[in-house]
Amino acid sequence: MREPRNIDDETAAYILHTRRPFEDLRQAAAQLAGILVLNASGANTASPDHPLVRTAAELHCSALEEVQHTRPTPRVNRHHRSLLEAASALAEALAAVRQDPDIDPVLVPLRRAYAHLQNAANTLPGFEMVSFEQGCCALHTQTRTQS
């Protein structure tokens, strides 16, 4: 459930400070999903050293550092915790894709990261997400489970 719209100054400052790391985590997740799409399409370019993997790792690293250095107020603790959990799950997805860009080992932590980002988006105004269930990875997962 989204917090009420009456935002105090500390919460507004937190929102402004964490928008970029939130977007960076979201973008890193999207790039990892892109690698999964390449892999699912049979592209031989979906390798652990693909530029999308490097960019996702850089985004993840900078976002995690910013989130870790943010001092949350009690009102934003849930949002902050969700960002940290999303970063942790993305770290798992990055580790998995670096070993092998196969879909299942990467998709599980990637979906968890996305769920944490969605939870963060639902707790404060100004953080928007597109539903992961509408993405191509969701369609691919449904096709695999129906086979």
Domains of the chain listed by start with CATH number: 9-146 (1.20.120)
What is the pLDDT tens value at each position of the chain, 147 positions in all?
A: 444 467 899 999 999 999 999 999 999 999 999 988 888 887 766 677 888 899 999 999 999 999 999 999 999 999 999 999 999 999 999 999 999 767 889 999 999 999 999 999 999 998 887 655 555 545 444 444 444
Instruction: Mark 123-141 as b/e (b = at least 16 C-beta within 10 Å).
Output: bbeebebeebeebebeebb
pTM for the model: 0.82
Number of H helices, E strands in the chain: 5, 0
